[in-house]
Amino acid sequence: MDARIKATDGFLFHLVKKLRPGLAGRVAKSGRLDTVILGLGGQGSKHAGLMYDFGTSIVAGVAPGGAGTRVHEVIPVFDSVKDCLAEFPDVVAASVWRHYSTARDAALEAIEAGIPLVVLISEGLPVRDVRDVIVSARAHKTVLIGGNTPGLIFPPERIKIGMLPDVFFPEEVAPGRFGPRGVTIISRSGAILYHMSDAMASVGIAQNAVIGIGGDGAIGSTFRDLVPLAMGYENTDLVIVAGEIGGCQEEMLAQDVRDNPGKYPKPLVALISGAHAPEGKTMGHAGAIVTPGLETGTFLSKKKALEGAGIPVVNSQFDLIEAVRAKLKGKTYFSPERYYAKMKTIWEAPPPKPHWTTLVTKVEPNNLVVRGYRVQDLIERASLVEAAHLVVLGELPAAVRTASLTRVAAAAVKKPLPAVVRNPEEDLSKTFQKYLLADEELAAFKPEGKAAQAEKAVFTLGRFTAYLAAVLSHSTALAEIKPATPLAHAVFRAIWGADAFDEAKARMIEAIIVASIDHGVTPPSAQATLIASSVRGSYETAVAQGVGAITDVHGGAGEKAAVFFLQC
């Protein structure tokens, strides 16, 4: 189901138009509802891909220190929301997937940048942090959803902001052509929300927006905030609220319906969970707890308040279907068989092939992608210094920078070394580890500017090449190296010595190294380097730790295989 309605006909545009009329005008011209994602850890990266695949326009991710990289090879990453908006100024929504300790700052950054909708997926934020975020959201007229929310989904527009599964179906005005009308579902519980949506779709009732408001004790938007907003959307025919025990949201909604009936011109149905929950026991969410001795927060108090405001209250999916059907006078929006066919396709689809993705590499069966380039293409076209620049800075360098990096690497090769002594029983990785760790030239080399990280990387490769030559007693072969000599030539001479240079063999060695420039974060060498750098160890300390982890257990298997094949 790939068809979608126009952006300007949907619920999300209705929200943007109400909050940011100027932004809505630009969206109307572009026809795009752009979103960003803040926090690219395991869950953030995973759901960035799922949201993108669903159809959401995710124009950028924000991860401090990740600028220049791409998530899933298609979503560019920026260091800050400010940098992101400089390139994509018309973002309408941001989802926050940061750890609760840093979620506050990420949410505030999005709010203060003027993004009208901020969805706080993170859970368990300290109440003081939530307070700060809510105050800022109100001051900036931002709709804040969450924390601890599964997010929102707008089925007619094919927009998902969060982690909701695809158990929805929009109005179908003609076969394969969808419309914006339907019911709006607003729920405190994510799991109950999914079941309600499935129940509605199973009888042909479309959903134009599904909103999980969050299960934490303190959240950004309540029923009283969101129900009038939904009823103000011309294509919403009815609103369903899914409440649960704990707090007083449902009672406050009921009071507002009685006090301000003009804000609630459309039918409203409530489902309340927790009819048999004991007092004082948390039932799933931080907010789902009946406080002993209080008159609000219980199933009965909520049911009484809502029914007193003329809102039918149910306690099961079956009763919900009947209540909604009655309010809609039997209206349906599509044939339920269409929904069943869609779900059958999803259920019977083969499981996705195993793969993993980092900010640098995407690994799939028979497909390895580094910074958006297939590794076989890099083997064919990229030199060693160009590949190093790509891994570190996210792009292949221009010819001028490649020449500059080549000079840096050559200079590193030519700088003097201490006397290199290798004990007969010493593992080769240990030899390189101890000399890199103590290398004064590497420690003293501190480049500046945009290419500084790449220059440091190729300088390190040059120093490693010099030590390789020393270990193999081929240091004299490096005398032929000139400032413009490619690093691959120096590597060849370090391995083969001063004999006649062979361009083809040098290129073969370079291709082998380029083919293995990145293999993820799971190997011991990568883990050792990450751990050392995470405690602010020096550059040479982190590199040396990684090199030291490349032993005959990890990294040595290839050598043993080569020896085996030579002996066959």
> What are the catalytic residues?
285
Packing angle of the helix pair 503-515, 384-393 (nearest 10 deg): 20
The side-by-side arrangement of strands in the sheet containing 91-96 is 70-71, 75-78, 57-62, 34-38, 91-96, 117-120, 143-146
**Where are the strands (E) in 175-218, listed by range?**
177-179, 182-187, 207-212
Q: What does the DSSP assignment read for 44-107?
A: HHHHHHHHHHHT-EEEEEE-TT-TT-EETTTEEEESSHHHHHHH-TTEEEEEE---HHHHHHHH
Q: Burial-class residue 333 by CB neighbours within 10 Å (0-12, 13-18, 19+).
A: buried
Structure tokens at 84: 């992101």
In this structure, how many other beta carbons lie within 10 angstroms of the beta carbon of residue 448? 7
Residue 100 CB contacts under 8 Å (≥ 6 apart), including other chains: 122, 123, 124, 125, 126, 129, 147
Phi-psi region of 449 (alpha: psi -120 to 50; beta: other; left: phi over 0): left
Q: β-pairing, 207-212 with 171-174?
A: unpaired
Taking CA atoms, 299 is separated from 27, 159, 270, 273, 520, in Å, by 43, 33, 12, 7, 50
Closest CA to 402 of 325, 484, 467, 326: 484
Q: What does the DSSP assignment read for 488-553?
A: HHHHHHHHH-SS---HHHHHHHHHHHHHTS---S-SHHHHHHHHHHHTT--HHHHHHHHHHT-STT
Query: CA 524, CA 433: separation in Å to the nearest integer?
Result: 14
**Under a CB-based contact definition with an 8 Å cutoff, are residues 270 and 243 in contact?**
yes
Q: What is the largest CA-CA distance in the chain?
A: 95
Structure tokens at 71: 């998530």
**Where are the strands (E) in 188-244, listed by range?**
207-212, 236-244
Long-range pairs of 389-394 with CB within 8 A, sequence gap ≥ 24: 389/451, 389/454, 389/457, 389/458, 390/517, 391/360, 391/457, 391/517, 391/518, 392/453, 392/454, 392/457, 393/68, 393/450, 393/451, 393/453, 393/454, 394/67, 394/68, 394/69, 394/70
Query: What 3-state class would DSSP assign to 367?
Result: strand
Taking CA atoms, 519 is separated from 354, 370, 510, in Å, by 15, 9, 17
Partnered with residue 356 across adjacent β-strands are 363
**Under a CB-based contact definition with an 8 Å cutoff, are residues 157 and 33 in contact?**
yes
Query: CA 332, CA 349: separation in Å to the nearest integer?
Result: 28
